[in-house]
Structure 1
Amino acid sequence: MRIALLTEGTHSYPQRAAVGREPGWCDRLAEGLPEHEFERFVLLAGASSATDRPDPGIRTLALRGPRPAGRGPGAVRRRHYARAYEQLVQALVLPREHEAFAVGLHRLAALAREDGALPAFLASSHAHAVLERVWRSPGADTAAGQPLVRDVLVAGDLLEQCLRPLAADWYGDGPGGLAGVDLCHVVGGGPAALPALVAKERFGMPFVLTEHGLHLREQYLGYRQAPYRWPVRALLLSFFRLLTAETYRQAALLTPGSGYDREWQLRCGARPERIRVVYQGLPAVARPAAGAEPDQPTLVWAGRLEPAADPESMLHAFARIRAELPGARLRMHGPEGLPGYREHCAAVARRLGVSEQVEFSAEPRLLAEVWAGSTVAVFSARSLPQPRPLADAMLSGRALVATDVGVAREVVGPTGLLVPPCDPPALAVACLALLGDEERRARLGLAGRLRAQERFAVEPVVASFREIYLELVSQWPAFPAAERRAGALPRPFTRPAEYWVAGDTPSPTAAQTGAGSAEAMAQAS
């Protein structure tokens, strides 16, 4: 079958082509399922770099930078655009209108499909006037502050960028069009889900959503430090919140990367019967375990130097460890999450009297080299939403100490020591317990490596999606509204079996209700 992979990224070429990079998740999936044909659609969220080599097999759309070229709508069409845009903005800022979000979204998509003037309209003064009028209406949610004119201009530009996928030339039935695929697979969520929502509305095509880090959660964290006033932040977060809810509602299946993400999806309105946890496969499961431990007892901490990772708790715990074990050393690897935070941590180490035994270094190219130089791996973060850092440390075969937050309990289980967050005494006790017991370190390290290999191998992920694709195509057949093109050769699995039954081609509506396919098969028999 043909599957459309919809992603948001910074490269218009497969990651396997980048020097020094391991294959990306989408690349590993496509390589593991050679029996299917994958079409790649990428929303470019960042500026292209000098090494960005366009791939002819990948269709791209830039979300940032200048808007796509094109003329604005005429006077009559502009009124249609204005009404649809007003409905969308009302859904964003008026709590009682949230249910109209999907209607406004699809009305804009239908208008854009007819004349392609959506980007030009959203950048026009007419769209800004609609946004300002609705945003300042009584009862609008403005995050305790009336939007200024500059807020309207900034928010209008940001909404235009978010809505660009609605006007993409991806929805045709020709080669490389979404109408010619059997299934959409959205990886990451957010704006990447917009083409899948349009394809489902137009063609009745099902889609799968895979999240290895919840897009909505990342937006909430990112907008805490965004350079916008609160009204703009509130408006954009409302857009992402409603888009996430609509995506969860329309997806045939959600495949979060952890049970922790599954709980977040449930809180955002996802239906439990449509969720299936599929752990992110890691190529690192095939690498050998780290070799002999260093001569000196060494704790290795890896992460971004920022308050969320809580390196200060690690430093305070290490001061207690040094009092019990004077020969211990601490290595802290990672980039600065905040300017000047590395120097702040160095000042804390000097104040605690352990600066000579603490080494700060930038994040290395390969984390395997970090864990190889450790006796015990330590995570002191206040939040651990991603399984990958923990799994990578476990694959090294080193014993692990982590704070009991996020995915830690789910990933580590009984193969490591979990302590409460922001508790340096408990962290110190756990580290000392492992540093003083070589047999226990070896036993927990081996158990953690086996657990990570079992949960994060690539093969089970590929097998899971092979089953998911076949299951969804069999339950959610897509029937195109267009007639079969003359001279076109049939492609296996490109259409469900009942499409090829002699007689009239079922309509999309009939196919979704099941009545059309039953009728056609009855006539054939």
Structure 2
Amino acid sequence: MRIGLLTEGGYPYVSGDARLWCDRLVRGLGQHEFDLYALSRTRRQEDEGLLPLPPHVSRVRTAPLWTAEENGTTYGRRARRRFAESYGELAAVLYAGPGATGAEGSTGATGAEGPHRSTGAGGADGVGGPTGAGGEEAAGGSGAGSGSLADRFGTALRALAELARDEGGLVGALRSDTAVRALERACRAPGALATARGARVPDLLVVAAHLERALRPLSLDWYGGDGLGAADLCHATAGGPAALAGLLAGHFFGVPLLVTEYGVQLRSHYLASGPDVANPAVRAPLAAFHGRLAAEVYRRAAIITPGNAHARRWQERCGADRARIRTVHPGMAADRFTEVGEAPDRADPDMLVWVGRIEPTKDLMSLLHAFAEIRKEEPKARLRIVGAPAGPEGAAYLGHCRALAAQLFPDEAEGVHAVGDNPVAFEEIGGPEAPTLADAYASGAVVVLSSVVEGFPVGLVEAMFCGRATVSTDVGAVVEVIGGTGLVVPPRNPRALAQACVTLLRDPERRERLGAAARARALELFTVEQNVAAFDSIYLEIVSHCPVRRVVLDQAGEPLPFAVPAEAHMPGRWTGPAARVAHRAGPGWAPGGSTRPTPVRATPLAAPEGAR
């Protein structure tokens, strides 16, 4: 089948998010044909170029999110009226307060103060699931009724997309005074969010600029019959703008959409837009936009694949239907850890190891304080911190950690260690003590994770591949990953962390049992092979409900036998036209030869002849 892979800020660029995961997925599914549609985030990312691509990638089309390219489109009077009506409706939904019509069926945006803190849906890192705009709870997947804010938001998006198709790109219109005036009317309207009523012109300009950036996929030339319209399904590797492109493919051509989120973009937006970034008059409408866009994507997607239960809870709170959610854990390469995992354990029985990127969220300060408690119980214990700082903030944090270690553990007295031998070592991968990542894990009897915020704990899975017993803090997807194969303690609790480490240091037989169980669990759940097989099955499941209606020709122009999966031709009433339209598009989004790829930069849609 033909897959339109939609990415944002990552694959197929050399650097960025989800780069390795997408590359492994594409290479592992050589029986399918892939077209790549990539949104870049920075000029540097584009300048670094693309990864080498396998031959079954037919084309690569790119577009920037960091800059907007105008095509000089000038709207006539009718087009300007259409834009004012559609954008005005979108603005009215974003600024609607809790008493607005349909608010009880709202989607998933938070109130102006950002995400609520709880220990429920958000997991142990302290960030709770989203609530409805203005503070009401999300619909929880039941869907909004006719006339709800959810339906109005989707209708406004579709109207803007159709305007871009009929008249040309929206870049200029989204930056125009008309857009700013629409935002101003919406925030001054009766019943608008109280936190947004005091918005000034600079605030409105910031909101307009952000919306223009987020809505750039509406103006791209990706949706023709030779683009996403020719795909058998769209696979968005993130929510947000990438998934918006998939919604448009479903709207114009009925192409089904699969959405994968290993890190929930809505949550990332909330965390990145705190009070120190923008004032409430800006944060409120932008939180509403991202929440309602996420909910619209979840409502219209054929299947949603979160990477863990933490992400799944966010999606369900935003209205995703549980029946269409399939948890697919990230796939990681296990072969580089095979030698360590299957070899006899020769690690220093007194050594604790921490491996990862050094940054404040890893909470190495608590780990050092915990190690001070460990030394009181086990004077021979040692700690290796292996990793490089993440940017300038990480470098500064590393300096603080080194200073704390020097303060907590001054040069040891002779008799325990040699004079000048500090029990805490800071190292990087590639050094003489840790030439490879596997060597770093192999050197420790116990691997420690001390984070206060964590998505999917990659380092924890790597330690499991190496057959190591672990002590982890209860954040993100840690409990889901570790199962019963390691010890888990509350975050920011050095005493509990110390007690768990001492327990394992004193019990080598238990360490061995936990390490063996951890490796078996990781090989069963978290390998590349498991990930690729899961997505191959999901692709076929989607196609079986959305039959492919195309003929694939070979190089001679003859029909190619077996080019379309057999599931695409299965008989039954559930594959009929009515069922197909309902499943592929959902209510309100009804549809109106392979060569090596050459990257094509997307351009804003040009106005049709005679449309200006």
Q: TM-score range by the shorter chain?
A: 0.7 to 0.9
1:16-415 → structure 2 map (5 Å cutoff):
24-49=20-45, 50-53=47-50, 57-95=59-97, 96=100, 98-99=149-150, 100-141=152-193, 143=195, 146-174=198-226, 177-224=227-274, 227-285=277-335, 287-290=337-340, 293-295=346-348, 297-332=350-385, 333-336=387-390, 338=393, 340-353=396-409, 356-361=422-427, 367-415=437-485
Distance 1:144 1:88, change over 3 A: closer
What SS class does the counterpart of residue 444 from structure 2 fall into?
A: coil
Which amino acid in structure 2 is aligned with residue 24 of structure 1? L
**Whole-angstrom distance in 2 between the partners of 1:242 and 1:423:** 37
The alpha-carbon distance between structure 1 residues 116 and 230, as it changes in their structure 2 partners (threshold 3 A), is: same
Q: Any stretches of 5+ residues in structure 1 without a counterpart?
A: 481-486, 501-505, 515-525
Aligned pairs, number = 498
Contact 2:5–2:37 at 8 Å: present in 1 too? yes
Cα deviation 1:196-216 (Å, max 9, x = unaligned): 111112222211111111111
Stretch deviating more after TM superposition (83-92 or 362-371): 362-371
- The alpha-carbon distance between structure 1 residues 371 and 136, as it changes in their structure 2 partners (threshold 3 A), is farther
1-structure distance, mates of 2:529, 2:88: 48
Secondary structure of 1:59 counterpart: strand
- CA deviation profile, 1:373-400 (whole Å, cap 9, x unmatched): 3221111222332142321221122211
Q: Name the amino acid aligned to 1:159.
A: L
**Letter matched to residue 341 of structure 1:** Y
Residue deviations 1:217-251, cap 9 Å, x none? 11111223773333222222211111111111111
What is the CA–CA distance in structure 2 between the aligned matches of 1:383 and 1:427, rounded to whole Å? 16
8 Å CA contact 1:371–1:393 kept in 2: the answer is yes
Q: Which amino acid aligns with 1:127?
A: A
How far apart, in 1, do the equivalents of 2:577 and 2:235 lie?
20
SS at match of 1:298: strand
Return closer, same or farther for 1:354/1:104 CA change in 2, 3 Å cut-off: farther
TM-score by length of 2: 0.74
Contact 2:187 2:196 in 1 (8 A): no
8 Å CA contact 2:196–2:285 kept in 1: the answer is no
C-alpha displacement of 1:191: 1.0
Compared CA separation, residues 351 and 140, structure 1 to 2 (3 A): farther
Q: C-alpha root-mean-square deviation of aligned residues, in Å?
A: 3.2
- Displacement of 1:427: 0.9
1:135-192, Cα deviation, whole Å (9 max, x unpaired): 3333322646722211111221111110000111011002xx0111111111111111
Identify the range of structure 1 (301-310 vs 25-34) with the bigger mean alpha-carbon deviation. 301-310
Question: Equivalents in 1 of 2:283, 2:289: separation in Å?
Answer: 10
Mapped partners of 2:436, 2:288: distance in 1: 38
Matched, 1:459 2:529: yes
**Structure 2 CA distance, aligned partners of 1:161 and 1:144?**
21
In structure 2, the residue matched to 1:6 is: 6
Aligned mates of 2:511, 2:410 — CA distance in 1 = 25
Task: Indicate which of 577, 581, 602 corresponds to 1:512.
Answer: 581
Residues 2 and 123 (structure 1), Cα distance of their counterparts in 2 relative to 1, 3 Å cut: same
SS in 2 for 1:245: helix
Report sequence identity in percent.
Answer: 43
In structure 2, the CA distance between the partners of 1:32 and 1:390, relative to structure 1 (3 Å rule), is: same
Residue 473 (structure 2) pairs with residue 421 (structure 1): no
**Cα pair distance change 1:214/1:3, threshold 3 Å:** same
Measure, in 2, the Cα distance between the counterparts of 1:465 and 1:222: 30
Query: Which 5+ residue runs of structure 2 have no aligned equivalent?
Result: 102-148, 412-421, 551-555, 584-612
Letter in 1 for 2:363: D
Structure-2 change in CA distance of 1:244 and 1:22 (3 Å): closer
Bigger share in helix: 1
- 1: CA distance, partners of 2:449 / 2:525: 20
Between the two structures, name the one with larger relative contact order (CA 8 Å, sep ≥ 6). Answer: 2
SS in 2 for 1:415: coil
- Give TM-score, length-normalised by structure 1: 0.86
Report if the CA contact (8 A) 1:207-1:253 is conserved.
yes
Residues of 1 paired with 2:335 and 2:197: CA distance? 51
Contact 1:398-1:441 at 8 Å conserved across structures: yes
**How far apart are the structure 2 equivalents of 1:127 and 1:144?**
16
